[in-house]
Amino acid sequence: MYAGAIIIASAMMYFRVYVLLFIFNRDLALASWLYFLLLFLVSMTTGYFLYKRGEKVHGDKTAAFSNSNPLEFKVAVVFAGLYLLFSAVTQFMVTQFGAAGLTALSFIVGFTDITPFLLNLFQGHYSITSTMVLIATMQVMVSNNILKCAYARLWSTAETTKWTWRGFGIVIALNVAVILLLYLL
């Protein structure tokens, strides 16, 4: 059940990133909606089936959640700092290394908070193609999903880790297929 819930929550990343893309780069969003929809639906479906499988095996269990506020001032300050950092680093990487620099950076950034990087990328006026922006977006989501697998390994049971990795394996494979398709287009 936990593996399914993790993947369902991660499916929202595709929706959230698409909304940001639509707000800041409508032309690219309209050209790429099918990729995001496919990734969202496959993630949701995979998560749903894993959740239902776990429900059959373990019954309906609920967990207590903390009441911490994610909108605290210190979180906003960290976000602003990351946004400024990613603005400078993205500008440097694209200017110095072009598309290859952006590809490498997007893989690394996926192991951090991806939103500041993506906001900068969607608003930036870099000398790269829209396709490269989309590839970098897809790449950052792949590495972010790999990070979630690592979290599962560190903080979950072996059973939850096994099913989380299997579920994310499907999602990551599709995400990589989209990246390869974009390179071919």
- Write out 30-52 in H/E/C secondary structure: HHHHHHHHHHHHHHHHHHHHHHH
Q: Is pLDDT above 90 for 142?
A: yes
Residue 67, pLDDT score: 53
Q: Is pLDDT above 60 for 128?
A: yes
* Spatial distance between the Cα atoms of 105 and 24, rounded to a whole number of angstroms: 20
Q: What is the mean pLDDT of the chain?
A: 87
Residue 65, pLDDT score: 46
Per DSSP, the residues of 128-144 read: S-HHHHHHHHHHHHHHH
6-42: per-residue pLDDT in tens?
Answer: 899 999 999 999 999 999 999 999 999 999 999 999 9
52-89: per-residue pLDDT in tens?
Answer: 887 676 555 555 445 555 556 676 677 678 888 888 89
Residue 69, pLDDT score: 54
Would you say 51 and 6 are in contact if contact means Cβ atoms under 8 Å apart? no
Which whole-number Å values give the CA distances from 81 to 67, 74, 136, 139, in the listed order? 25, 11, 21, 22
